[in-house]
Amino acid sequence: MIDAVITWVDGDDPIHKRKREAYLDDTAPVSSIQSTRFASSGEIRFAVQSLLQFCPFLRRIYVVTDDQHPSELDTILAAHSNVRIVDHREAFGEHADLLPVFSSRSIETVIHRIPGLAEHFLYLNDDIFVGRKMKAEDFFDQGIPIIRGNFQRFPNKLMKWLKSKVRNTRPGYNAAQRDAASLVGYRKTYLLAEHQPHPMRRSTLERYYENREAELRAQISHRFRSADQVSPIGMSNHLEILAGARVERPLDVGYVRPNRPTGDALVEVMAKLQGNAFASFCVQSLDQMSKDDRQIVLAGLNAHYAHTV
């Protein structure tokens, strides 16, 4: 039994926008409050469709939101009773006093607490899509997550210390995974996972935080993404590796973002997606792409994910 969890937010919703603005202060790094971090351009429909279309082994798909409803999913919700909307309050449970939060790391840290969630699940951001037909065995080996990524060396300690002294240190994607590795005992190398679906076990983070309530609340209390937060995906990955999980190289990950690639090169990438070249595909910051590139991406996504409902 395997579920999937997708986190989603519509940052253009006036209510959500006012909520964010009410909690803004000068301690939040600029990269954590940029509008593109909360933008929704309909990607959630493709994320859910990709799971329905290419992961028939899934039991349920949970879409985690901040008191919002993704209208792009109305047709899917009407046709698929196993797709469910979950509010932040359900995942935060007794820690709901910390809400609202706008940091994906705060939210990702509690997704394993979703009521009724299966022990085994896939986690995706709403801009990550499964690209072709997959099997449960592509993600789990006899119930153990298959961890996909590449090992990196920890940076020079002096350089890391100097960076830590810079105010509003950028809460980078790589650094958050590295810090998670360090937290659970890694010292020389850490695993860097790409923007892809992540196989996880509910009990892994459950056990870690069982007697660490203060640490849990410190991690999830950040309203905006902070360099003081570790990546919960990175933490889960490294805990699983310590427990003996198999590590594999990333599996055919497709990735596009503003101006990388663009024009004809972007057309070629989208054609590869439709040709099932990618096991997973990430479209980062669709809202910031040029009008022409955005149309190319949307046309390719619509063509590839057109047969679910």
Q: In what helix (H) or strand (E) does residue 149 lie, and over which residues does it extend?
A: none
Q: How much is the pLDDT for 166? A: 58
Cα–Cα–Cα angle for 42, 47, 52, rounded to 5 degrees: 130
pLDDT in tens, 84-122: 999 999 999 999 999 999 999 999 999 999 999 999 999
pLDDT in tens, 33-86: 666 566 678 899 999 999 999 999 999 999 999 999 999 999 999 999 999 999
Judging by DSSP bridges, how do beta strands 247-248 and 147-148 pair with one another? Answer: parallel
Q: Does domain 2-304 have CATH number 1.10.10?
A: no
Q: Which two tokens stand for residue 215?
A: 């640490």
Residue 46 neighbours by CB distance under 10 Å: 25
Mean pLDDT of 8-26: 89
Q: How much is the pLDDT for 40? A: 74
Domain ranges of the chain: 2-304
Name the pTM for this structure.
0.93
Q: Which two tokens stand for residue 16?
A: 């959500």
